[in-house]
Amino acid sequence: MKNKRIVIYVAFGVILLLSPSFLNAYWVDVLNNVGLYTILALSLNIILGHAGLFHMGHAAFYALGAYTTAIINTTYHIPILWLLPVSGLVAGLAALVVARPIIHLRGDYLLIVTIGLVEIIRIALVNNVFGITGGSNGIFGISRPVLLGWKINKPWEFFYLIWGFAAVTIFLFDRLEKSRFGRALNYLREDDVAAEGSGINTAHYKLIAFVIGAFWAGMVGNIFAAKMTIIAPESFNFWESVVLFMIVLLGGRGSIPGVILGSFLVLGLPEIFRQFATARMLIFGAFMVVMMIFRTEGILPPLPRKYPIAKVLGREGSV
Amino acid sequence: MELFIQQLTNGLAVGGIYALIALGYTMVYGVLKLINFAHGDLFTIGAYLGLTLLTTLGLTNYLGPFGVVIVLALMVMGLVAIVGAALERVAYRPLRTSHRLSAVVSALGASIFFQNAVMLIYGARYKVYPHDILPRTAIHVFGLDIPLIRLLILLTSIVMMIGLYLFIQRTKIGTAIRAAAIDQGAAKLMGINVDRVIMIVFLIGPALGGAAGLMVGLYYGQINFTMGWLYGLKAFTAAILGGIGNIPGAMVGGLLLGVIEAMGAAYISIAWKDAIAFCVLILILIVRPTGLLGERVAEKI
Amino acid sequence: MSTLLSLKNLTKRFGGLVAVDHVSFDVETGSIVGLIGPNGAGKTTVFNLITGNYRPDEGEVVFEDRSIKNLPTHQIVSLGISRTFQTIRLFQKLSAIENVLAGCHCRMKAGSLAGMFRPPAQRREERQALETALQELQFVGLHDDAEQLAENLSYGNQRLLEIARALATQPRFIILDEPAGGMNNQETAALIETIRKIRDRGITVLLIEHDMSLVMEACEHLVVIENGAKIAEGTPQAIQNDPKVIEAYLGTDEE
């Protein structure tokens, strides 16, 4: 069973890695978007999937990262990839400031507040706040990233940048969810009174979950800005947050393979349904309802963590 | 002062519409703890059904303006109620025992489905309501001209809210709804048919939402297939503001949100109208985490 | 013998109801103390006041000569007080071993970055925690169920798992809220042994229990409360013969 999974993952990885060689530019660009949403959804998964916080405003942090990059790059001409951590920091700091007073809100109250956040940010961007966001036209003329002297320009070049970043994210987040930190998030999701009663500072962990999620979303914003070279508020509206929310829940809360699959389905299916033209979103909506009825925990729910129990018990037995 | 009163009445009229939609959110939430994200689209369906009935039935040939609106409202409410009950049966009932978030995704899927169904049937462009249904006269109050339709909207929504309140408080079914909202298990043990209660909630909520859709069509004169998102979001905000699950809370929250928006638009900035509303919401929730009228229950440990 | 925990005039009101009414008592280091009283007397509320789940309206909670009444719960746990819950509060969808690892959490240090980059200290700490958690499971006799989901354990075993989780925080003081609730006679007898073993590890025990055979057999000292107020305190023998206690219990038709 476990081996079968690994075989599937490896095969999937290899096909994905080679895909720019047999796909045209349009489909490579679709995969690029899937990649960006995969990273975004993985970062939301920490907050929504692991910590169980109803956060439907993730596009707000994504927007902050993209605008940070766009503003600094177009004003001071600092190379894009240098701004990657800067964008993450700005979004992470914003999360720290914003989340602190609202983190104690329960379920649906938190949901509407996070929706409010994304709307406030979008409106601020549209209204050209501080005169630096370019209003509803946004910002254009963002430069392309240069990685080790190679200018990233074409879709296939972005493909490897985006999916390389996704691979690093998957690697780090997989470790994170199997650590003390990841467990703490699951404890407070299951029962925050019991978690606190077991000695876990639940408010702190909720906050850090937000900060890490926002930090990553900010970095994705950076790559998005470089890929588009022009950004506008409408790329970061409430609907984007809803899409991310759906990816995590459809794929499987707290499951990295689930979230990746979710991104492919939510972004890819409407592309595949293109033959149905205007009815594609209708079919997609029905698909989501049916999917949730038959796979209520998502398509690929997380597997339980494994611990080397036999090994430890064996050693103790011998002592 | 004139601006203030104009904005106040306008805010109350829009707030009344928000409140009617918010009632659907809050009632469903009360019994199922589910945010029915498709509710805003039921409101849209109400607006479009109203338009269709208005242009095809030719009611204006037989009835006066108020007769037309009353007959139309009843038909729209009945039809949207059926859609609502069907939605519950298909998309929510199979998920009743699963995790709350699963039902949220189902609701989002249903919302996408409805929105696109409306678009496929009616097209993506704005649709215009006939503007001669209700007399476009103004009423003189304290030396001010206030549009008649605005007062009618406000009056209608208040009548409906009072009606609903009495229904919930005074009737046997209303008592059953309240009981199911407090504890479904106990309600079942007391012989209440919870399935039926949920169905009734999914008839009443969408009916009110559909009525609100018709009112928006009549008030603003034009409708669009995506408008359910914005109104739904506003109404959900209103329900949370009042304390979700709490019926008077939805009414207060809706009216308050309408007035806040109108005042914010008039006195601060129209471009920031929606942001102001959300800021007020966030501030209120920081001070009162369960909304204005929401119960502050200490969790039993 | 020194005093480990001391409650002084502890009072908690919910609206007009006085749930805990100027309750004072001391818990000696190394003892097993029972808090008893009729249903609704305010026993669990006293526990919640000690562990910081509720804030007292009046009075003091002193643990090892330090006031803890305004500290958050997780900090109280790391100071060395842990608890179980009357209505079992396990992480039902997680395995038994992960439930116990929750208790290890407050004795660990690795943060999110260490989780991602796994320096040697983090790996060592994880291994250590796993060993501790398995030891605690073994202590309550659940090591064979380490990978079972908590929700699949029997009621009695769920109570034991909660105790293992509480012990994993390495407390000096453990509070057990109706640990025998839902257990059969055999399980209760084993529980009494376990409670004694906990004390023998140097952990002081305070418990609420309705099973009088357990209370009389396991506890060395009893505190009786009724309607939120303390009505008696003493050895089990003294309490059994206290007219006020007999009246309180007969009046409510308890054992």
Residues C103 and C134 in one domain: yes
Contact A179 C116 (CB under 8 A): yes
Residues C26 and C66 in one domain: yes
Q: Which residue of A has its CA nearest to C106?
A: A199
Q: How confident is the model at residue A145 (pLDDT cuts 50, 70, 90)?
A: confident
Contact B116 A111 (CB under 8 A): no
C138, C170, C202: which is the final residue of a domain? C170
Contact of C165 with chain A, judged by CB distance below 8 Å, is answered with yes
Digit-coded pLDDT (tens) for C148-192: 999 999 999 999 999 999 999 999 999 999 999 889 999 999 999
Q: What is the ipTM of this complex?
A: 0.92
Nearest-Cα distance to chain A for C47, in Å, is 12
Is there a domain that residue C73 lies in? yes
Residues C138 and C188 in one domain: no
The predicted structure's pLDDT at residue B133? 75
Give every CB contact of residue C115 below 8 A, 6+ residues apart in sequence: A175, A176, A178, A179, A180, A181, A182, C122
Residues C163 and C187 in one domain: no
Is there a domain that residue C45 lies in? yes
Residue among C99, C47, C97 nearest C73 (CA) = C47
Q: Which residue of B has its CA nearest to C43?
A: B301
> At C14, is the secondary structure helix, strand, or coil?
strand
The pTM is what? 0.90
B19/B254 Cα distance (integer angstroms): 4
The predicted structure's pLDDT at residue A277? 67
Residues C160 and C195 in one domain: no
Contact of A313 with chain C, judged by CB distance below 8 Å, is answered with yes
The predicted structure's pLDDT at residue A268? 86
Q: Which helix (H) or strand (E) holds C206?
A: strand C204-208
Residues C70 and C147 in one domain: no
Residue among B40, B224, B227 nearest B127 (CA) = B224
C252: pLDDT strictly greater than 60 = no
Residues C185 and C74 in one domain: yes
Residues C33 and C19 in one domain: yes
Q: What is the mean pLDDT of residues A115-120?
A: 91
Pairing, β C204-208 against β C173-177:
parallel
**List of chain B residues whose C-beta atoms are within 8 Å of the C-beta of residue A98:** none
Contact C48 B298 (CB under 8 A): no
Contact C53 B301 (CB under 8 A): yes
C85: pLDDT strictly greater than 90 = yes
The predicted structure's pLDDT at residue A45? 97
The predicted structure's pLDDT at residue C76? 96
Residue A298 tokens read as 């998502």
C137, C170, C203: which is the final residue of a domain? C170
**What is the CATH number for C184?**
3.40.50.300
A224: pLDDT strictly greater than 70 = yes
In total, the C-beta contacts within 8 angstroms joining chain A to chain B are 124
Give every CB contact of residue B37 below 8 A, 6+ residues apart in sequence: B104, B107, B108, B110, B111, B232
C243: pLDDT strictly greater than 60 = yes
Give every CB contact of residue B135 below 8 A, 6+ residues apart in sequence: B65, B148
C-beta separation of A256 from A238 below 8 A: no
Contact C85 B301 (CB under 8 A): yes
Supply the mean pLDDT for chain B.
89
Contact B113 A193 (CB under 8 A): no
C-beta separation of C88 from C183 below 8 A: no
Residues C255 and C177 in one domain: yes
Q: How confident is the model at residue C1 (pLDDT cuts 50, 70, 90)?
A: low
C170, C204, C238: which is the final residue of a domain? C170
**List of chain C residues whose C-beta atoms are within 8 Å of the C-beta of residue B301:** 44, 48, 53-54, 85
Is there a domain that residue C86 lies in? no
> At B143, is the secondary structure helix, strand, or coil?
coil
Q: Which residue of A has its CA nearest to C166?
A: A198
Q: How confident is the model at residue A318 (pLDDT cuts 50, 70, 90)?
A: very low
Digit-coded pLDDT (tens) for B168-223: 999 999 999 999 988 888 999 999 999 999 999 999 999 999 999 999 999 888 99
Supply the mean pLDDT for chain C.
92
Nearest-Cα distance to chain B for C229, in Å, is 20
Domain of C31, in residue numbers: 1-80+172-255
Is there a domain that residue C243 lies in? yes
Residues C123 and C159 in one domain: yes
Contact A198 C103 (CB under 8 A): yes
Is there a domain that residue C87 lies in? no
Is there a domain that residue C70 lies in? yes
Residues C70 and C23 in one domain: yes
Is there a domain that residue C206 lies in? yes
Residues C118 and C195 in one domain: no
Task: Give how many domains chain C has, as a whole number.
Answer: 2
Is there a domain that residue C226 lies in? yes
Q: How confident is the model at residue C251 (pLDDT cuts 50, 70, 90)?
A: low
